[in-house]
Amino acid sequence: MNNNKDDIALQDYKDDDLAVVQTEDVTRDVDALPQVEAIHKGVTTQLKSQTDMMTIRQTVSAFRRTVAVCVAAGVCAALDGYQYSIQNSIIANKGFIRQMAPKGKSALDPVAVSTFGGLHAAGNVVGQFLIQYLSDWLGRIAAMWMCLATLALYISEHAPSRVRGLLIVAYSMWYSFGILMGAVALKVHRDADPYDWKSLIYSQFAMIGAIAVVYMFLPETPWYLVGKGKLDKCRKTLNKLNAKVPGYDVEQEIGIMAATIEVMRLADIEGKRANGRFDIFKGLNGKRFLIGSYPKVLSSFVGLPVFSNYSTYFYQLAGVADPFLATVIQYSTQIVAVALDASLVDFLGRRRMTMIGFTGVCCGMLMVATIGCFNYSTPELGAALVFAGVTANFFNNFQTSTAYAYLNEMPEQRFRARGSGWGLAYCNLYSVMFNFVTPLMLNRWNVRAAWLFVCTGIPGTVLAFFIMPESSRRSPAEIQELFVDHVPLRKWRGYKTNVERDLEERIARGEIVPI
């Protein structure tokens, strides 16, 4: 941002009326930092770390302690995936059906199935509405004890920019592994004792205990601590994690984080976007919110509810001989998809991964819908149906992990917890709807219900082509600049930001030595 804009923003900040509206809970001790003082004086300051110029391999090697923290947090996602799998597939368990089916019937009431899935999604919405405030008030760690949805936010605020996408996707990989564990447990249990379903529910408590042990050793995120003015705690965390990294300057990194937050704060004041409860939905922040949420919203419209929420139920209604085995196959390929996502997300980029994923899902759903027009009870078409379903689920998960990256990268830093919480809640409003209606559609139209997702998924994918930006390898300050300067969303890849130019000039002048 140029000096004139900074001067205007500073004058606005001093204005009494705007100062009253401004309610950001930040200790202003950060004003004493040289980088923040420079911002207030209208002097260009460094907003991008030289560590962002390292290769992926160099970053992982140098910041191995930080990476280990992110991986440990990601492992905890396995519990969420496990319980998600158990809940969504247990409705095909014989013992569960015998216990829950209407008296005198051998099948579950479709309305009860839709209510069962819908209430789970509704619970997610309530939790995600509340957790954003707890996350900002009590901290990321305290919020994680209450709601696993905050794991991706925690990882994004710890991870170095160069491998942020990789580590967020690694979280999704552990989540997918937990789903596979649940599917395998259901399959093994079906073969050993098909009428026992309570043991599967009880098994989730062992994983909760394992997660509690991990949580006790996780440090608070540096971005949260700087945002709250807790600089001493941030120094302690960064020294513990990164002090042994050659050339790493803790004070410089704290200054970059503080200056980035201050630039965003002043830009909001300049645009008369203070820090009200709903300002995240207004103006430029509203645009960032909708873009960050879009991939996850579109997931529901391309068929995620069928092959993620009700896969076993779908294969059972479709007449597949062993629906649990089909689900295990599907979730096994899901891990492959997420692994590919993790290895390619920082190479191909978020936008390309998103477009490849949604295009593949639409092709898979089109195959499912077409097969539904024929007699898929034959062995040949039955196998083709499973293949089509696995294909759709594979490509959905090929981009689903990237959706979490968008969700946490698009909001500005001051609104990141709020953006993640509101974003997940907003996305899950669609999940609530589809969790209620999908079982009813499957029961009425069976496989032909896929036509609905074909008709909504294809236009949604076309829209994604025009509105999804490329945010990989970008620092929060760069993403802020790209939005404020209204750089066309499709042209972010390869665009040289002022923040990036400033870093290169400082290195050329010898002010900064590349790590």
Mean pLDDT by 10 residues, the chain (515 residues): 41 36 48 84 86 88 93 86 79 82 79 75 77 83 84 89 84 83 82 84 83 91 92 94 88 92 81 65 88 92 80 76 80 84 82 93 93 84 86 85 85 82 84 83 86 94 95 89 92 91 88 75
Which secondary structure element, helix H or strand E, spans residue 175, and what is its range? helix 164-192
DSSP-derived secondary structure letter, 221: P
Q: What does the pLDDT read at residue 277?
A: 66
Distance, CA of 229 to CA of 218 (rounded, Å)? 20
Hunting for tokens 């089916």 — which residue is that? 101
Type of residue numbered 285: N
Q: Is-contact 417 151, C-beta < 8 A?
A: no
Distance, CA of 108 to CA of 57 (rounded, Å)? 51
Q: What does the pLDDT read at residue 271?
A: 62
Distance, CA of 266 to CA of 273 (rounded, Å)? 9
Q: Is-contact 114 449, C-beta < 8 A?
A: no
Q: Is-contact 274 23, C-beta < 8 A?
A: yes
Instruction: Give Cα 362 to chain centroid, integer Å.
Output: 21
Distance, CA of 309 to CA of 109 (rounded, Å)? 17
Hunting for tokens 């899935």 — which residue is that? 117
Hunting for tokens 């391309």 — which residue is that? 302
Distance, CA of 396 to CA of 293 (rounded, Å)? 15
Q: What does the pLDDT read at residue 272?
A: 59
Q: Is-contact 447 386, C-beta < 8 A?
A: no
DSSP-derived secondary structure letter, 86: H
Q: Is-contact 324 312, C-beta < 8 A?
A: yes
State the Cα angle at 263 between 259 and 268, rounded to 5°. Answer: 150
Q: What does the pLDDT read at residue 291?
A: 94
Instruction: Supply the pTM of this predicted model.
Output: 0.74
Dig out the tokens for 153 from the structure.
Answer: 């936010």
From the list 43, 2, 90, 110, the residue with the least C-alpha distance to 435 is 110
Helix (H, G, I), strand (E, B) or coil at 494: coil
Distance, CA of 327 to CA of 183 (rounded, Å)? 7
Dig out the tokens for 401 from the structure.
Answer: 């992990």
Q: What is the DSSP string of 232-250?
A: HHHHHHHHHHHTTSTT--H
Q: Is-contact 302 362, C-beta < 8 A?
A: yes
